[in-house]
Amino acid sequence: MPAPLISPAEKSYIEQGIEQDCRADGRGRLEYRHIVLESGLLSQASGSARCRLGDSDVLVGVKVEIGEVDQENPNVGRIVCNVECSPSASQQFEGRGADDINNTLTLSLDRLYNGPQSGIDLEKLCIIPGQNCWVIYIDAMVMDCAGNLFDCIVMTTRAALHNTRIPKTEIQDLGDGEFEFDVVDDIEDAESIIGWDRSPISVTLYKIADRYIIDPTILEELCSQVTLTVGVNKEGQICGIQKSATGSIDPSLLTEMIQSATNLAKPLLQQLDTKLLEDEAQVQEKRKLGQPVEKLGFFAAVI
Amino acid sequence: MSRLELLTPEGLRIDGRRANELRKITAKTSVFSQADGSAYIEQGNTKCLVAVYGPREARRRQQTLADRAIINVEFNVAPFSTSERKKRSKSDKRSLELATCIRQTFEPVIQTNQFPRSQIDVYIQLFQHDGGVLQSCINATTMALIDAGIPMLDFVCACSAGCIEKVPVLDLNNLEESADTPELTLAMLPRTGKVNLVELESRLHIEQLESVMDLAKDGCIQINEMLDKVIRQNMDHLMGRMKA
Nearest in space to B171 (alpha carbons), one of B43, B6, B5 = B43
**Predicted confidence band at A298 (pLDDT cuts at 50, 70, 90)?**
confident
Report the pLDDT value the prediction gives residue A169, as an integer from 0 to 100. Answer: 84
A290 in contact with chain B, both atoms CB, cutoff 8 A: no
Closest-CA residue of B relative to A96 is: B90
pLDDT of residue A1 exceeding 70, the answer is no
> Percentage of chain B surpassing pLDDT 70?
98
- Considering CB atoms only, which of A65, A86, A297 is closest to B76? A86
Give me the mean pLDDT over the A278-296 stretch: 84
A61 in contact with chain B, both atoms CB, cutoff 8 A: yes
**Predicted confidence band at A150 (pLDDT cuts at 50, 70, 90)?**
very high
Closest-CA residue of B relative to A44 is: B83
Q: Is the peptide bond before A74 cis (omega within 30 degrees of 0)?
A: no
Q: A297 contacts in B (CB within 8 Å)?
A: 40, 47
Would you say A116 and A158 are in contact if contact means Cβ atoms under 8 Å apart? no
Would you list the DSSP string of A30-84?
T----EEEEE---SSSSEEEEEEETTEEEEEEEEEEEEEPBTTBTTS-EEEEEEE
Residue A181 main-chain phi, psi, to 5 deg: -135, 155
**Tell me: the pLDDT tens digits for B50-108?**
999 989 988 788 888 889 999 999 999 999 998 888 888 878 898 999 999 999 999 99
pLDDT of residue A220 exceeding 70, the answer is yes
**Tell me: the pLDDT tens digits for A168-185?**
888 888 777 777 888 887
Give the span between the Cα atoms of A259 and A262, in whole angstroms. 5
**Predicted confidence band at A3 (pLDDT cuts at 50, 70, 90)?**
low
Report the pLDDT value the prediction gives residue A2, as an integer from 0 to 100. Answer: 40
Q: With the C-alpha atoms ordered B105, B109, B112, B113, is the resulting torsion angle positive or negative?
A: positive
Report the pLDDT value the prediction gives residue B2, as an integer from 0 to 100. Answer: 42
Residue type, B71: I
* Cα dihedral B220/B225/B226/B227 (nearest 10): 80
Give me the mean pLDDT over the B190-200 stretch: 92
Report the pLDDT value the prediction gives residue A301, as an integer from 0 to 100. Answer: 65
Would you say B4 and B175 are in contact if contact means Cβ atoms under 8 Å apart? yes
A302 in contact with chain B, both atoms CB, cutoff 8 A: yes
**Predicted confidence band at A230 (pLDDT cuts at 50, 70, 90)?**
very high
What does pLDDT average to over chain A? 88
pTM: 0.90
Report the pLDDT value the prediction gives residue A96, as an integer from 0 to 100. Answer: 83
pLDDT of residue A43 exceeding 80, the answer is yes
Residue type, B105: T
Nearest in space to A38 (alpha carbons), one of A163, A217, A164, A198 = A163
Report the pLDDT value the prediction gives residue A241, as an integer from 0 to 100. Answer: 92
Min Cα separation B186/chain A (Å):
27
pLDDT of residue B188 exceeding 70, the answer is yes
A63 in contact with chain B, both atoms CB, cutoff 8 A: yes
- Considering CB atoms only, which of B38, B74, B78 is closest to A141? B78
Give me the mean pLDDT over the B188-217 stretch: 91
Instruction: Name the interface residues of B facing A (CB cutoff 8 Å).
Output: 26, 28, 30-35, 38, 40, 45, 47, 49, 51, 53, 56, 59, 72, 74, 76, 78-85, 87, 90, 121, 123, 125, 127-130, 238, 241
> With b meaning 16 or more CB within 10 Å and e meaning fewer, what string describes B206-239?
eebbeebbebbbebbebbbebbeebbeebeeeee
pLDDT of residue B114 exceeding 90, the answer is yes
**Predicted confidence band at B152 (pLDDT cuts at 50, 70, 90)?**
very high
Q: B26 contacts in A (CB within 8 Å)?
A: 299
Give me the mean pLDDT over the A1-10 stretch: 74
Report the pLDDT value the prediction gives residue A302, as an integer from 0 to 100. Answer: 63
Give me the mean pLDDT over the A105-134 stretch: 87
Report the pLDDT value the prediction gives residue A70, as an integer from 0 to 100. Answer: 83
Interface test with A, best of B63, B127, B173, B230 (most A CBs within 10 A): B127
Q: A61 contacts in B (CB within 8 Å)?
A: 78-81, 127
**Tell me: the pLDDT tens digits for A88-100?**
888 778 878 889 9
Query: Residue B167: left (phi > 0), alpha (psi -120 to 50), or beta?
Result: beta
A116: buried, middle or exposed (CB in 10 Å: 19+, 13-18, 0-12)? Answer: exposed
Give the span between the Cα atoms of B161 and B158, in whole angstroms. 10
pLDDT of residue A273 exceeding 70, the answer is yes
